[in-house]
C-alpha cells in the first residue's frame, strides 16, 4: 500500500512554452468519487490548461492534485 507522500511524489513532466500567466477560470469536465474524496478533472475555459483537483468534502473547496498541463 502506498502512502499519500509516496503517491504524490511521482514525477510530473516539465511543461515548456506555456501561455502568458493569467487567472484561470476552472470548469469541471468530469469527476468521480474516491476514498480520498471527489476527484475533479478541470480545464481553464480561456487557455485550455488542464489540472486534476480533489475535494475532500462538500464543505471544503477543491485543491490541486497535479500541476497545470496544456
Cell of residue 19, nine digits: 501561455
Q: Count up the domains in the chain and report the number.
A: 1
Show Cβ contacts of residue 9 under 8 Å, excluding neighbours closer than 6 positions: none
pLDDT above 90 as % of the chain: 53
| pLDDT tens sequence across 12-31 | 555 555 556 788 999 999 99
Q: Examine residue 13 and state whether it is found in any structural domain, yes or no.
A: no
Show Cβ contacts of residue 62 under 8 Å, excluding neighbours closer than 6 positions: 38, 40, 42, 53, 54, 55
Compute the average pLDDT of residues 19-44.
90
Q: Examine residue 1 and state whether it is found in any structural domain, yes or no.
A: no
Q: Examine residue 54 and state whether it is found in any structural domain, yes or no.
A: yes
pLDDT above 60 for 51: yes
Would the CA dihedral through 24, 57, 39, 28 be positive or negative? negative
Residue numbers of the domain that contains 35: 24-70
Kindly report the backbone phi and psi dihedral angles of residue 4, in degrees, each rounded to the nearest multiple of 5, phi listed first: -60, -40
Q: What is the pLDDT of residue 67?
A: 83
Amino acid at each position: 500500500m502506498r502512502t499519500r507522500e509516496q503517491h504524490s511524489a511521482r514525477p510530473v513532466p516539465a511543461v515548456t512554452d506555456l501561455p502568458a500567466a493569467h487567472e484561470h477560470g476552472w470548469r469541471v469536465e468530469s469527476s468521480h468519487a474516491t476514498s480520498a474524496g471527489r476527484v475533479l478533472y478541470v480545464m481553464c475555459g480561456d487557455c485550455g490548461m488542464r489540472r486534476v483537483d480533489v475535494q475532500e468534502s462538500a464543505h471544503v473547496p477543491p485543491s490541486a492534485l497535479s500541476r497545470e498541463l496544456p
